[in-house]
Amino acid sequence: MPKYNFDEIVNRKGTNALKTDALEPRYGNPDLIPLWVADMDFKSPPAITEAIIERAKHGIFGYTCASQAYYDAIINWMSRHHDWKIQQEWITFIPGIVKGIAFVVDCFSSVDHKVIIQPPVYHPFRIIPNLHHRTVVDNPLILEAGQYRMDIEGLKNLIDPACRILILCNPHNPGGRVWTRQELADIAEICYDNNILVISDEIHSDLAFAPHKHIPFASVSDKAAQNSITFMAPSKTFNIAGIVSSFSVIPNKELREKFHAYLSSSELEEGHIFAYLAAQAAYDHGGEWLAEAKDYIRKNITFVDEYLKVNIPQIKAMIPEASFLIWLDCRELNMSQKELVSFFVDDAKLALNDGTMFGQGGEGYMRMNVGTPLVNIQKALDNLKKALETKQIRS
């Protein structure tokens, strides 16, 4: 019998939630079903809420430092869930993973350097280096049998001496791939041998579905460990993105000292009082909640897949191996991207992510967030079905 109620509808409007309160400025309609922003509509584990409330009752919110219990919680979680033995000195707080990517780009490259990404992929991977005046080089993923794989040969062929950083999405967003040990080892070998630092964004790591198992990039080989900076966070896992409790893990002493010095120069490595507290509570007491959440999300994914196959076969779901995001292949609708986005927003009254924001290979796709009560997904898909039927009748 489940302990937690993921069917509970929680009204997020009026709470400054980006997912709901930015609908009107972003989409022109405040009443769309919001399945876009990558957070969940589930209440976070009670242990986190209770820890925050208990600390708030103290009434003094002065300068804060990370406790030993905070570090132990991270170290123990990595060992239990990812078979990764890490050391305390490898860890430092960062004020968000996207910010962390910006810090690494700024710290370890210059304007005449290039950053490699593997699209379609999380859009800040392109935006952040561009804003820092770095050239972004695409090594597109290969779509094969309904799933993505890395183009290892393509990566070898595009590398030149100006390539200094590769940003890896591990697991992948938006496709949901959990990369294999061999794929990660290949990336590690190539990048080490060509002096290309790997940033491994592992924010979705805890949301891998069995039999798939997340493999931390730095754990696959000594070359991976010595040539990477890993970013992790409890934010996606436990739905606490607004608390901001990300951290980096860097085994290589030279890289670590350089990055930590960069952070310290602007006091960017200092977390706020609830960042440490929430992360500790999540990792120490959130395991049972996470197991139930993943079961619920997996059932939502199955529901979407089966519904589309029966009712809207023109749209195909790429079944994620991790996370609560589904990459929808809408190419058989035979719409331009502009028509496709308009169809979802104006006809079906849904807010999803436009596939082209994820770069090359995103044309004809939409990203759907299913980290929400099933009733919301049922309504969204019914809207989509009716909108398509109406469109077909009119044409």
Q: What CATH code is carried by the domain that includes residue 40?
A: 3.90.1150.10
Q: Are 379 and 258 found together in one domain?
A: no
**How sure is the predictor about 395, in pLDDT bands with cuts at 50, 70 and 90?**
low
Cα angle, residue 169 at apex, residues 167 and 174 outer, rounded to 5°: 130
Q: Are 291 and 270 found together in one domain?
A: no
27 inside domain: yes
State the pLDDT at residue 393. 85
Of 235, 260, 285, the last residue of a domain is 285
Angstrom distances, CA of residue 302 to CA of 23, 58, 306, 319, 350: 27, 45, 6, 8, 20
Q: Are 293 and 281 found together in one domain?
A: no
For residue 310, what are the domain limits?
18-45+287-394
User: Each residue of 185-227: pLDDT tens digit?
Assistant: 999 999 999 999 999 999 999 999 999 999 999 999 999 999 9
State the pLDDT at residue 140. 98
Give me the numbers of helices (H) and strands (E) for the chain, helices first please. Answer: 15, 15
Percent of the chain's residues with pLDDT above 70? 100
Of 252, 285, 318, the last residue of a domain is 285
Phi then psi for residue 271, to 5 deg, are -85, 160
User: Each residue of 116-165: pLDDT tens digit?
Assistant: 999 999 999 999 999 999 999 999 999 999 999 999 999 999 999 999 99
Q: Are 321 and 281 found together in one domain?
A: no
Residue with more model confidence, 393 or 14:
14
Of 231, 254, 285, the last residue of a domain is 285
9 inside domain: no
**pTM of the predicted protein model:** 0.96
* Long-range interactions of 150-156: CB distance < 8 A, separation 24+: 150/118, 150/179, 150/183, 150/186, 150/187, 151/118, 152/183, 152/186, 152/187, 152/190, 155/116, 155/187, 155/190, 156/190
Q: Are 109 and 208 found together in one domain?
A: yes
